[in-house]
Every structure is written in C-alpha cells, then in structure tokens.
C-alpha cells in the first residue's frame, strides 16, 4: 500500500487503500503494530461467533483421509446441515494480520472441508476490500478445485478486487441487497509514495549506498526518483497481474459476464452486479445458506 506498510502489488480497492494509509502510517511511525489490538481481537471474535451460532458442538466423527486435528477443524466449521462456513474479513494477504486470517490458513481450511465427507457444500462469507496479488491466485485455484468436488457459494455485502478474484471461482455469488458496498474493483494497483520532499522540509537528507554489483537493489524505495526503465517494468508487472485477474474472472463466471465494462476497476451495487453477471442473485446470508443446501442435494 505504501512504503511504510506493505510491499508488492495489490488487488486492492483504491479508496480503501487511501483510508487505511491514514490509519496505518502514524502507528508505524510511532513504532506500533499497524492496527489497534482491539480491532484485531474484534475481528477474531466476530469470525468465531457467527460459526458458534449455527454449528453444533460435540460432533466429532472419524473420516477417512483426515487426521484427527483436521477432523476437528471440519467439525468446527460444518453446520448441522453439512455446510462448511468460512469467513474472509478485511484485507487479504498470505499470512494475515490485516484484519483477517491469512490466505494460506483459509486455503488449508477449504481443502479440509473439501475432503470431509460430512461437508456437503461450502459457504464463503466475504466482507473484504481485496488484498495482495501474492497468494490470491493460489487461493482462487483452491476454491475452484473444491467447487469441482462440492458446491462453493459466496455471500457478501462487499467483495472488491482480490476478494472477487477468489469468489468468482465458486459456483454462485450472492450479494446483500443494499445501497452501499457491492462487488467489483477488478483491477490492480501499486501505490508509490515519494517522501523526498517531506524529508527535505524536515532537514533530513537521505543517501542510499549500494555495494558494487548491486545496482538494481531496491530501486523503488520512496526516496529516490523512479527511472523510466523501472517504471516500465512496474507497468509490465501490473498489466500482467491484471490480465491474470481478468482471465480468472472470465473463467469462473463463464457464460455469465454480460459486458467487458466490469473489467475497468469499477465497483457495482447489487442490482447492477447481478445485471452484468458479476453476481448470481441478491439475498440475505440465510438465503445464500439455503441455496448452498439446495445445491448440495443436486
């Protein structure tokens, strides 16, 4: 997002990136964790509380192909109706710590539910502005592989960018019927912050020295100007990431996308999202849950 917080290329909603920068940067400059502890704990407890409401306890079964710990995970996320519920909350990254479990953890859980004979379908509960390019493709591939075995349905009030990348690989997408949120932001960005003028005003002069033979080391650093060659290389990477993103959404939503206008990075409210084929239906979480049950019986 910025040199102060994240490195790399992001499938991330631009407006969210700007808002989070104002939260994260002052904390990092003060030597603190980028997010308040209360926010991290609230997210962790929220994810668990939803599942606790509808998941029966004490149901441990021995399933061929799952270890004891894997079976306990499957039993935790599976409801009495055989629907495994996974939540994707907040910004997405490989290892988490951005208001969400990491993609690797969620992929592992999805794989377990995919192999669990008592899980008949999976419901993704998504509320996310997107996240890093790193590991998003792998997460999308995991959802597609699981959906080939049993239905994966997504319900979301807000699924932007990387969140939609992943959700598009499931069977259906249900979006909450409201006049905020929505889905979309199919695009890629990299936010570059040049701090040189701000440092100059503070009387700070920064000089970067590189070892002989390390002329290409950290050419994007927030202090030195970016050369035309480096800028062109970054643009090539961004374009390749976008092409991959668009290709996955086209594949996952094959026969459903009605117009190429959805690939400009724009967000869409529920009515338009359904009309353009980014979503299959509008509805509540419980309606999407019932749809997952219905698909599991087909």
Phi then psi dihedrals of residue 92, to 5 deg: -100, 135
The yes or no reply on domain 10-192+227-296 and CATH 3.40.1190.10 is no
Pick from 22-31, 224-233, 236-245: least confident: 22-31
Q: How confident is the model at residue 252 (pLDDT cuts 50, 70, 90)?
A: very high
Q: Give how far Cα 286 sits from Cα of 72, 77, 85, 86, 124, Å.
A: 25, 16, 12, 14, 12
Pick from 25-29, 51-55, 129-133: least confident: 51-55
State the pairing for strand pair 10-12/130-132: antiparallel
C-alpha–C-alpha distance, residues 3 and 95, integer Å = 19
C-alpha–C-alpha distance, residues 234 and 196, integer Å = 20
Q: How confident is the model at residue 266 (pLDDT cuts 50, 70, 90)?
A: very high
Radius of gyration of the chain (CA): 21
Q: In a 10 Å sphere around its CB, with 0-12 CB exposed, 13-18 middle and 19+ buried, how is residue 81 labelled?
A: middle
Residue 54 has pLDDT above 70, yes or no: no
> pLDDT tens, 89-135?
999 999 886 556 899 999 999 999 999 999 999 999 999 999 999 99
> pLDDT tens, 213-223?
999 999 999 99
Alpha-helical regions (H) of the chain? 14-29, 37-54, 68-77, 103-115, 136-147, 162-167, 196-201, 228-252, 270-276, 285-296
Q: How confident is the model at residue 253 (pLDDT cuts 50, 70, 90)?
A: very high
Residue 26's pLDDT is 78
Residue 62 has pLDDT above 80, yes or no: no
Mean pLDDT of 133-150: 96
Pick from 18-22, 74-78, 116-120, 258-262: least confident: 18-22
Per-residue DSSP letter, 262: G
Mean pLDDT score across all residues of the chain: 86
> pLDDT tens, 161-187?
999 999 999 999 999 999 999 999 999
Residue 99's pLDDT is 56
Q: In a 10 Å sphere around its CB, with 0-12 CB exposed, 13-18 middle and 19+ buried, how is residue 4 labelled?
A: middle
The domain spans of the chain are 10-192+227-296
Residue 40's pLDDT is 56
Residue 58 has pLDDT above 60, yes or no: no
Q: Give how far Cα 231 sits from Cα of 158, 187, 248, Å.
A: 32, 18, 26
Residue 63 has pLDDT above 60, yes or no: no
CB 265 within 8 A of CB 182: no
- Kindly write down the DSSP assignment for every residue of 130-177, as one continuous string: EEESTTHHHHHHHHHHHHTTS-EEEEEEEEETHHHHHHTTSSEEEE--
Mean pLDDT of 141-151: 97
- Give the bridge partners for 124, in sequence order: 86, 154
Residue 159 has pLDDT above 50, yes or no: yes
C-alpha–C-alpha distance, residues 39 and 139, integer Å = 25
- Give the bridge partners for 127, in sequence order: 89, 158
Residue 57's pLDDT is 32
């Amino acid at each position: 997002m910025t040199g102060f917080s994240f490195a790399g290329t992001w499938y991330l909603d631009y407006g969210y990136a700007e808002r989070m920068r104002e939260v994260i940067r002052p904390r990092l400059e003060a030597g603190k964790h980028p997010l308040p502890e209360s926010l991290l704990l609230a997210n962790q407890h929220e994810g668990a509380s939803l599942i606790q409401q509808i998941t029966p306890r004490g149901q441990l079964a021995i399933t061929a192909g799952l270890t004891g710990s894997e079976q306990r995970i499957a039993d935790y996320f599976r409801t009495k109706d055989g629907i495994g519920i996974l939540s994707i909350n907040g910004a997405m990254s490989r290892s988490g710590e951005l208001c969400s479990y990491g993609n690797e953890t969620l992929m592992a859980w999805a794989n377990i539910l995919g192999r669990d004979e008592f899980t008949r379908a999976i419901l993704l509960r998504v509320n996310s502005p997107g996240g890093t390019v790193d590991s998003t493709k792998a997460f999308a591939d995991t959802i597609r592989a699981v959906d080939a075995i049993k239905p994966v349905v997504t319900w979301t009030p807000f699924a932007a960018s990387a969140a939609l990348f992943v959700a598009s690989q499931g069977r259906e997408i249900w979006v909450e019927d409201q006049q905020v949120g929505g889905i979309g932001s199919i695009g890629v960005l990299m936010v570059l912050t040049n701090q040189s003028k701000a440092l100059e005003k503070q009387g700070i002069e920064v000089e970067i020295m590189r070892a002989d033979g390390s002329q290409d080391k950290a050419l994007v650093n927030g202090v030195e100007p970016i050369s035309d060659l480096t800028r062109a290389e970054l643009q090539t990477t961004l374009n390749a990431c976008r092409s991959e993103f668009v290709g996955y959404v086209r594949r996952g939503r094959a026969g459903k996308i009605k117009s190429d206008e959805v690939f400009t990075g724009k967000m869409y409210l529920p009515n338009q999202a359904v009309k353009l084929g980014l979503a299959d239906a509008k509805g509540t979480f419980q309606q999407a849950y019932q749809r997952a049950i219905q698909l599991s019986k087909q």
